Chain A
Amino acid sequence: MLQVISLLVENKPGALMRITGVLSARGYNIESLTVARTLDPTLSRMTIAVDVDAQLRAQVIKQMNKLINVLQAADLTETPSVKREMALLRVRSSVSNRAAILKESEIFGARVVDSSTEGFALEATGDSEKLDEFIDVMRSYGDIEVTRSGSVAVSLEVKKLRLSPPVPKNTPVEIVTEKLETRN
């Protein structure tokens, strides 16, 4: 089973590299990764789905929480949460197929975002399995092209966010004006 990790991170250069580094250093392959700004523009929310050995999941979370740019890393794999993914599909279809494609889209709750003589562009959201099915169905109608967003997840449990408060910097010391004593 894929591990789903939700992270709240500082929106800074290199933050993504540090997080993926925790995974790549251990040879884990990331299945999907989404990242976008939060209400607070200095922070980003990241959702990662990754294939991690079950007994190492806690270790991965701890290593991510150690990163200075990470405010919070949480494992959503087995906690109550909602996971959604979006897919954009371009379906080439003959005139005879068009009605069936529309009907099928309706069943999956997908929307038509573009329509042309070539076919349709469709937008679908749902959990990953549902999208897999939708894509399978659409494939049976002909050539398709798919772009998936990867999972985004939100925890259904309120988790207290613990942030470190500012630390006063020691007041600067008086500098020794002479060259520090050189031995020998």
Chain B
Amino acid sequence: MSTSTAHRTSGAESKLMSGAQTLLECLVCEKVDCFFGYPGGVTLPLYDALYDHPIRHILVRHEQNAAFAAEGYARSTGRVGVCCATSGPGATNLVTGLVDAMMDSIPIVAITGQVTTKLIGSDAFQEADTFGITRSCTKHNFLVKTIAELPQVIHEAFYIAASGRPGPVLVDIPKDVFQAQTHYTPVSEIHLPGYKVFTEGHTGQIRRAAQMIWDAQRPFVYAGGGIIAANASDELRELVELLDAPTVNTLMGLGALPADHRNFVSMPGMHGSYAANMGMSNADLLIALGVRFDDRVTGRLAAFAPHAKVIHVDIDPAEIGKNRVPDLPIVGDVKRVLQKLNKVLHDLAPANRDRNTSGRAAWWRQIREWKEEHPLTPETSNSEIKPQHLMREIDRLSGGRAIVCSDVGQHQMWAAQFIRFNEPRLWINSGGLGSMGFGLPAAIGAQFACPDKLVFAVVGDGGFQMSLPELATVVNHGLPIKIVVMNNGYLGMIRQWQELFYNNRISQATLDSFPDATMLAGAYGFKGRTIEKPEELTPALEEAVRENGPYLLNVRVSPFENVYPMVPAGGAINEMVLGPPQPVVA
């Protein structure tokens, strides 16, 4: 092998290389094709090694967005997303993204630089205790003290991030470790004796679950982000069709069962549909798959699904019984468990299929009635663009196939209600942490991961302004992201709560001085426009989608629209507020 390819090892013989080169080598071994980062003082050796290395580095404009972009990459593909930041402020800026990935179980690996080992603990320039700070916001983290352990640690980091319940892992690498030289030999095995991953599911429990399912009159499938993390959509579909059970996908699980599937009801929870919440509340069996009974789904826990027995499948034993104590827990990878469960259900079908037909038919009738009673229908108006109308138009253009990265707030809920997702990994949003500023950088990551897909960044005027610097990244790489700003001039969800629960005292929720979208996009060298009339909406969205490069569409929507249905905080989910209070006629 010639010296010019010295940094590209494929054989087992060891080569002298620096820590920085070793790291890049390990990333290549992990099949990382690009990563998102921002250089700094202590990562200079890494960026020097990167100079003539084939791996692609995407320079973002703020480290937080490197983490969000890595999440967008991971959420849209299921592969581990990678981000990189320098010590001190670089590392602290990653923290929000790490917590975000932790809350939504997204596999990312964060590489941070650290001051030279001798200086650690001396309050050196740009020093922060990254290992300590990120302990609670990662699935696991490492501080690499010597180059000898570097390759092992990097591979362990990827293994931990991607396996079991996925999550973020951070590796903190001091500058002198980047610079040290080592004879690199590829790592042959990973040994983490204390890392317990339960995948298979208990056979006896699965058998009992199957019997419970056939015994139920009013079964209801409650499927979440775990289905998407486990790539278990096919297995979910098989289960749902086998039972002909009504199914909800949580905010994190949208797309797990196709939105157009006849058994799909909608999203449950605080802003879920009437049928979804009534279904949960009246079911006699809840089949909970890869969900964590989040408070935004259950409402008041004591009143949640009061008539239901619960089967809870989750890969994380700590989720079992955390909020709702299940009647039948199964710890395992939901894909493996569903494969086995479907098989047992099939085997038991001949003896059971016809047992509860009338009960189940009545259950479906009831669900359809609820759907018809209070359907999720988008508001429209002739004088102003209703936000729901905007989402319905995006849905029409997407046809359930585009990637939609949302930010956090009202637009997120309307997007979840009105945009259909017919495949997993299309709906990308910050569910657990609810980080504003997530939408645009996540779209950047998703577009890099899926260059041939249509990617929308559906954002509010608040969150968009938190991610503004990344417009440069979008333009730099000619990413054809369609940025749609649902602009109501407010922090809409804050205003909604202040209106409903704080006597309409709108405090610090007004967002004035939004820039001219045409000029803003123009300043970065791409197209943008503002619309406010309903008749402009369809042509403008079509124009945005037709555009080869990025597009910024600023949609002025009716400012006082609120998200309904709504379960007030602390309420039971069948006590929904279905619409705005009717105006009092004087």
Q: Which residues of A contact B (CB under 8 A)?
A: 9-10, 13-14, 17-18, 21, 25, 58-59, 62-63, 65-72, 162-180, 182-184
Question: Which residues between 296 and 347 of chain B lie within 8 Å of chain A, taking CB atoms?
Answer: 316-318, 320-322
Asked if residues B194 and A14 are in contact (CB atoms below 8 Å), the reply is no
Can you report 7 residue pairs joining A to B where beta carbons are below 8 Å apart?
A14-B143, A68-B194, A169-B155, A173-B29, A173-B31, A177-B5, A180-B33
Q: How far is the CA of A140 from the CA of B543 in the complex (A)?
A: 89
Chain B, interface SS category: loop
Residue of B nearest to A161 (CB): B193
Q: Is the CB–CB distance between B8 and A177 below 8 Å?
A: yes
- CB–CB B54/A177 < 8 A: yes
B194 & A69 in contact (Cβ 8 Å cutoff): yes
Structural contact, B189 and A184, CB atoms closer than 8 A:
no
Q: CB of B9 within 8 A of chain A?
A: yes
What chain A residues lie within 8 Å of B159 (beta carbons)? 167
Query: Roughly how many angstroms separate A68 CA and B34 CA in the complex, as a whole number?
Result: 27
CB contact under 8 A between A68 and B317, given known A167-B190, A169-B189, A169-B190: no
Do the beta carbons of B135 and A21 come within 8 Å of each other? yes
Q: How many angstroms from the CA of A18 to the CA of B131 in the assembled complex? A: 11
Residue in contact with A164 in the complex, picked from B194, B321, B549, CB distance below 8 Å: B194
For residue A49, give the distance in angstroms from its CB to the closest CB of chain B: 22
Query: Are B10 and A172 within 8 A (Cβ)?
Result: yes
Nearest chain B CB to A33 CB, angstrom units:
17
| Beta-carbon contact of A65 and B196 below 8 Å | yes
**Closest partner residue, chain B, to A56 (CB atom):** B322
- Measured in the bound complex, the distance between the Cα atoms of B160 and A62 in whole Å is 18
Contact of A162 among B29, B136, B196, B477 (CB under 8 A): B196
Q: Which of A13, A58, A165, A183 contacts B321 (CB 8 A)?
A: A58
Q: Does B125 contact A (CB under 8 A)?
A: no
The 5 lowest CB-CB distance pairs between A and B, nearest first, are: A184-B478, A62-B318, A166-B191, A163-B193, A71-B194
Contacts of B190 in A (CB 8 A): 166-169
Q: In the complex, how many angstroms separate the beta carbon of B364 from the nearest chain A beta carbon?
A: 37
Q: Are B192 and A169 neighbours in the complex by a CB distance under 8 Å?
A: no
- Considering the complex, give the chain A residue whose CB is closest to the CB of B317: A62
Q: Given the known A-B contacts A172-B9, A177-B5, A180-B54, are A66 and B34 also in contact in the complex, defined by CB atoms under 8 Å?
A: no
- Contact partners of B10 in chain A: CB under 8 A: 172-175
| Closest residue on chain A to residue B190 by CB atoms | A167
Q: Which residues of B contact A71 (CB under 8 A)?
A: 193-194
Task: List residues of chain B with CB within 8 A of the CB of A25.
Answer: 136
Q: Which of B34, B143, B194, B318 has the most CB of A within 10 A?
A: B194
B56-A21 in contact (CB<8A): no
Residue of A nearest to B321 (CB): A58
- Kindly provide the distance from the CB of B255 to the nearest chain A CB, expressed in whole angstroms: 25
Smallest CB gap from B448: residue in A: A183
Cβ–Cβ contact A17 & B132, under 8 A:
yes
Across the interface, do B54 and A14 meet the contact criterion of CB distance under 8 Å?
no
B29 pairs with A172, CB closer than 8 A: yes
A66 to B194, CA, bound (A): 8
The verdict on B494 contacting chain A, using a C-beta distance below 8 Å, is: no
Contact A180 to B56, CB < 8 A, known contacts A14-B131, A164-B194, A174-B10: yes
Assembly CA distance A182 to B59 (angstroms): 14
Q: CB distance B189 to A168 under 8 Å?
A: yes
Measured between C-beta atoms, what is the minimum distance from B236 to chain A in Å?
25
